[in-house]
Chain A
Amino acid sequence: MQRATANRLTPYMFMAPAVVIMVIALLYPLGYMVWGSFRDWDPSQTIGEAEFVGLKNYITLWHDPNFRESLGVTLSFAFFVVTFEMVIGVGLALLLDRNIRGMSVLRTLFILPMMIAPVVVGLMWRYMYHPTVGTFNRFFEAIGLPTVDWLGANALMSVIIADIWQWTPFIFILSLAALQSLPRSALEAARIDGATGWQQIIHIKLPLMMPVLIVTGLLRLIDAFKVLEVILVMTEGGPGLSTEILALRISRTATEFRELGVAAAMSNYLLILLLFITVMMFAFTRWQEMRANRLRAAVEEDE
């Protein structure tokens, strides 16, 4: 009998350490932050001293055009970044999913960009984007192309490119790992069934990788909303607000404007947004499962 109870406790035993740590180190501060978002909170005050202002922070933000603008920037940034990285990353993984000599070296080469400290990456790209001495424009000049005003007119694009460069490896590695742990026999069967390389990818590999891909995309999305250092170093959000994504604005609000309350409120907006996306995603997958089941039921009906 007591075994049965032990049995029931197992999952909790497995969960416990993770839960404890996250509660201490994330949920608690998180609550702190949510609580703070209702106060007019200056970094040199402790939260206790800060004056309670209710929803004021949220409302002011809602009407603040700058906030909206950078929300827009954030969304488009996240969208492009994630889409491109998914496509390139998965593509690369599919390309490298074979055993050729020096594979692990190749992999490492491709992961390299991710391993450089963000600040340095930022500097590096800022350097390469430099209008005159920058690598790109020098190259363009060399081959007689018109130079591009990278961090000026096309700042957002430039930032996106840099981020893609740095974070595609993330998708790449995870999808590669997923690919490698697919059931080989199913793939053999597919080859016998006359599937071309493409068809194998579309009908077998991708569907079987889907769980990993969804999660990966989601995590990447979340991170895309949090990119900070690279952009900070590259453009400091400029020109104008054209690259001031929310994370950046949040940290500026916290440090430059010294309005922690507002910063907190801002990140709560961000949080809500992300939650919304996430829940939508799950809702969608769930819905698909349900549909599949219903179909199944239907079929088993008319048998």
Chain B
Amino acid sequence: MAGTAFANPYADYEGTTLIVNFPAHPHYDAVMKILPEFTAETGIELEVDQLPYLKMRERQTLELGQDEGEYDLIAYVVFSKADYVFADQLENLAKYFMNPKLSDPGYDAGDLIDGYVYNIGFAGGDKGYLEGATGSLFGIPYGSETSVLGYRKDIFDKHGLKVPETYDELLEIACKIPELEPGMGGLSSRAASGHHAAHAFLLHLNPMGGAIFDDQWNPVVNNEAGVKAAEALKTIVDCGPEGATNFGFGEALGSFLNGDTAMFLDTTVVAGQIDDPSKSQVVGKVGWALHPMGVERASQTGGFGIGIPANAENKEAAFLLMQWLTSKKGDKLVAMAGGNPSRFSTHADEEVNAKYPHMATFGEALKHADPDWRPIIPVWGKINADLGTTLSKVLTEDLDIQEALDGVAERTKGVMTEAGYYTWN
């Protein structure tokens, strides 16, 4: 009896069906490939509901609101963390890791990339949304990404260019490319109104040493670091491919895949597509480098974590799945299937590197991952949108950068007051 229980911790849950909500995202496409393995190993059936991540977020908002939800395990976007935890809709994972029946001793939590964990898993610590003395764990990073610089080896070799280390070099090269290669853009960045523009801006904000808020929640986007970041963005877009001003991620990546630009500075998830001949014309021509440094190295972290809804039906089983997926084994499986691993060990793993040479670089980049590259607070959505549209104006309507950012700062201040962040001072 007990013997079997030891032998197979999954026994009790054999046959239960877990309903899982994943985003439509290269990483999770990879996950889909390895899930059968889990079922085979544990006898736990899975039904996956895959949604584009914005839709996924809406769906979850609605679902988690119910007193009996559909999902047993959800993948959530980083910035949902604040809402869900705040609304008490995510299980605190403590009690599962405490449960000997469930938690696997071999699960080496230290090996998880801390930048990710802090960014995605924790809440209740510093600033309320980070790790820290008061913080605790609500989810585990899974399918998380960081920013790296992709560049066209062939082009760079052809013109004897050196892979940019700093922003100055980056911008210089970005604007030199169009002259060297007529019709080719320097660096393709997203810039479309809304969160695309905002995201692109934030990409440069930290390296430039800027931030949205100081520690007292005072908006500081409009300090000169912020302005530098915005200028960088503008330069990049101007030297970018034609019509870049309203590129979304799709077009941006598209033009890189299409060979219309020499560099691409964004998330790591694209690696898969760049090597897929049915999608890209630059297979094998792309090299990877760290996110260039401004005053400091700070690559973005983002992507998804997985957590257990408070209104889930089979929480234990869900935890088991969660644990399996993020275990060393699971992580490596995903990596091999083309997902992005969340453990240092996996990045180091030579088998993986054999298949995906860029992994090492990515692992390196992760050392500089900055969990706090943007605040994760309920009102962020609004601020983000405002930032996005304003920057879009900067890029298209030549609005003066300084005053644009001042505007953002001011409105942000308003929002924050509204939301009660200044109650204490």
Contact = CB atoms under 8 A, between A and B. Distances in A.
B383 to A, nearest CB: 9
Interface stretch (B158-166, B315-323, B385-393): B385-393
B246 interface: yes
Of B192, B196, B258, the most chain A CB neighbours within 10 A belong to B192
A152 B392 CA distance: 10
Given A132-B242, A151-B246, A240-B389, A44 B87 contact: yes
Q: Could you tell me the dominant secondary structure of chain B's interface residues? A: helix
Contacts of A43: 61-62, 65
Contacts of B384: 256
Nearest to B251: A130
B193 interface: yes
B193 A235 contact: yes
A258 B389 contact: no
B410 interface: no
A253 B260 CA distance: 36
B70 interface: no
Nearest to A65: B411
Interface string A221-264: 00000000000000111111100100000001001111100000
A256 B194 CA distance: 11
Contact of A241 (B62, B65, B248, B389): B389
Most buried by A among B193, B251, B382, B397: B193
Interface string B44-74: 0000000000100110011011000000000
A149 interface: yes
A254 to B, nearest CB: 9
A279 to B, nearest CB: 34
B49 to A, nearest CB: 18
Nearest to B255: A132
Given A132-B260, A149-B243, A257-B381, A238 B389 contact: yes
B89 interface: yes
Given A130-B251, A255-B58, A257-B385, A238 B192 contact: yes
Place the interface of chain A in its size category. Answer: 20 to 34
Interface string A100-132: 000000000000000000000000000000111
A153 interface: yes
Q: Which of A46, A240, A258 has the most CB of B within 10 A?
A: A240
B65 A240 contact: no
B378 interface: yes
B83 interface: yes
A252 B243 contact: no
B23 interface: no
Given A44-B87, A258-B378, A236 B241 contact: no
A238 B54 contact: no
A133 interface: yes
A68 to B, nearest CB: 14
Nearest to B241: A132
A82 interface: no
B245 interface: yes
Contacts, number: 91
B396 interface: yes
Nearest to B385: A256
A155 interface: yes
Contacts of A42: 87, 378
B395 A258 contact: no
A42 to B, nearest CB: 8
Given A132-B241, A132-B260, A133-B258, A236 B193 contact: yes
Contacts of A149: 243
Interface string B364-407: 00000000000000100110111001001101110000000000
Contacts of B242: 131-132
Nearest to A251: B58
Interface in A122-164: 130-133, 149, 151-153, 155
B282 to A, nearest CB: 15
B257 to A, nearest CB: 12
Nearest to A259: B382
A239 to B, nearest CB: 4
A152 B381 contact: no
Contacts of A130: 243, 251
Contacts of A244: 193, 389
A238 B200 CA distance: 15
B184 to A, nearest CB: 11
A237 B245 contact: no
Contact of A239 (B87, B89, B193, B386): B193
A131 B396 contact: no
A149 B389 CA distance: 18
A20 B187 CA distance: 59
A132 B89 contact: no
User: For B83, B194, B384, which residue has the most chain A Cβ atoms within 10 angstroms?
Assistant: B194
B83 A44 contact: yes
Contact of A236 (B83, B248, B258, B397): B248
Nearest to A262: B382
Given A236-B193, A237-B194, A153 B396 contact: yes
Interface in B75-100: 83-84, 87, 89
Contact of A258 (B195, B251, B381): B381
A236 B194 contact: yes
A239 B395 contact: yes
A257 B19 CA distance: 28
A44 B193 contact: no
Given A43-B62, A44-B87, A235-B246, A255 B193 contact: no
Contacts of A259: 382
26 contacts: A42-B87, A42-B378, A44-B65, A44-B89, A130-B243, A130-B251, A131-B242, A132-B241, A132-B243, A132-B255, A132-B260, A153-B396, A235-B193, A236-B192, A236-B248, A237-B193, A239-B193, A240-B397, A241-B193, A241-B389, A244-B193, A252-B385, A256-B195, A256-B381, A257-B385, A258-B378
Q: Lowest 9 A-B CB distances belong to which pairs?
A: A238-B193, A131-B243, A239-B396, A44-B87, A240-B393, A257-B382, A256-B381, A43-B61, A236-B194
